[in-house]
Amino acid sequence: MKPLKEKVSITLDEDIVTKVKELAEDDDRSFIQYINMVLREWIHQNKPSHS
């Protein structure tokens, strides 16, 4: 089963969009797939540690 998706709208700076599109193409991913991957990795790496 595919994970649930939620449609959102954001405004990004033009230079960010251009660079993300280039990176996504280099990684053979769509723009949205690449953004999801980057955000997921960032969230995983920046989780607060629970002591």
Does residue 51 form part of some domain? no
**What would the mean pLDDT of 41-51 be, rounded to a whole number?**
86
Domain that includes residue 36, residue range: 14-44
Q: What's the pTM value of the predicted model, to 2 decimals?
A: 0.81
Integer CA distances (angstroms), 6 to 3, 9, 28, 35, 40, in order: 10, 10, 23, 14, 15
**Amino acid 51: pLDDT:** 54
**Amino acid 48: pLDDT:** 82
Does residue 27 form part of some domain? yes
Contact criterion met (CB below 8 Å) for 31 and 21: yes
Q: Which residue has the higher pLDDT, 27 or 3?
A: 27
**Amino acid 11: pLDDT:** 98
**Amino acid 1: pLDDT:** 78
Does residue 6 form part of some domain? no
Does residue 5 form part of some domain? no
Q: What is the dihedral of CA 38, 22, 27, 37, to 10 degrees?
A: 10
Does residue 32 form part of some domain? yes
